[in-house]
Amino acid sequence: MPHKVENLLKNDAFFVAVLHCAREMLAIYRESPRIASIFAAQQRWLMAHAGFALHFGFPGEPRLGLYSGRFIAFAVANKIASRNTAAAFLQEMLAYRFLRPIESPTDKRTRLLEPTETAHEHFFRWLATHLLILDSLDGGNRLERISADPSAFSQIQPLISRAIIDSDAVRDPGATYNLFNWANSGGLVMDYLMSRIETFDRDAERVYIGPLSLKEIRNQFMISNTHLKRLLTQAADMGSVGWTQPPYKGDTWLSRGFVLEYLGYQAAKFAVIDRAAEVVLGPAVKETASPR
């Protein structure tokens, strides 16, 4: 059976795994800032998932294929982005060579788009990281099986895309999470803050993560000083982030509520991925007969 959100939230091993996932996302960013910037804010992440899913065949859609008009209409209809933002995203992906134009086999007037090998590689790595973590929780072999079946990724990804686009728990996990994740590079800053957690006492009001270097964060994620301070100040005004010697001095703390919002989002996302993997790959762990 796929992992349920409520069970993941109670599992201390899952919390440790979530921190590992945050560190892995940061590692991907350091290796390739341009591709990882797609995951740095929720709107871009949702658009990337939508684009891949339309290319592979979005569940419930009458046909597969990614082209500009269809992508823009899809983004607007699903409240992911405005027409201008969706169009600009496609142009950016083409400029970075994460998408390329191809001829339509059925309609020469339509310029189809397809993800390049680089985009496939990094998106697969994102999925592989999550499957590896799920395997670590229950001893499953999801990653081994998807690696052995080249077609499995193209089947799983549209299911994930459909589920996350339809999921309030993934798209709206809480006010502080949304503050970071809808800001440019804010998702990376949030991952960085969470990656600094060493232990989490669910009964404590605050989690201390040591002193922060704003300069290090700015340089690492190419975020302006003004933008970073605005983010942190808004989070501080919400009671979600603070310092023992304000402003920005001494040990930094995160509120329990903020950490739980982040954990809730991760649990909802991992549950979505696990359900999609089971549909395509079958049960991750074979049930054994109970001894009589």
Q: Give 39's pLDDT tier (boundaries 50, 70, 90).
A: confident
Residue 290 Cα distances to 78, 282, 283, 284, 285, angstroms: 46, 21, 18, 18, 15
The residue among 163 and 200 whose pLDDT is bigger is 163
Mean pLDDT of 64-73: 93
* Residue 190, pLDDT score: 94
Q: pLDDT tens across 126-146, in order?
A: 899 999 999 999 999 999 999
Domains delineated in the chain: 5-170+266-281 (no CATH), 175-260 (1.10.10)
Mean pLDDT of the residues in the chain: 90
Mean pLDDT of 62-83: 93
| Per-residue model confidence (pLDDT) at position 286 | 61
Spatial separation of the C-alpha atoms in residues 105 and 84, rounded to whole Å: 28
Q: Model pTM greater than 0.95? A: no
pLDDT in the model for residue 108: 65
Flag the least confident range among 65-74, 146-155, 176-185, 281-290: 281-290
The string of pLDDT tens digits covering residues 226-259 is 999 999 999 999 999 999 997 889 999 999 999 9
Specify the range with the lowest mean pLDDT, choosing from 73-87, 103-117, 247-261: 103-117
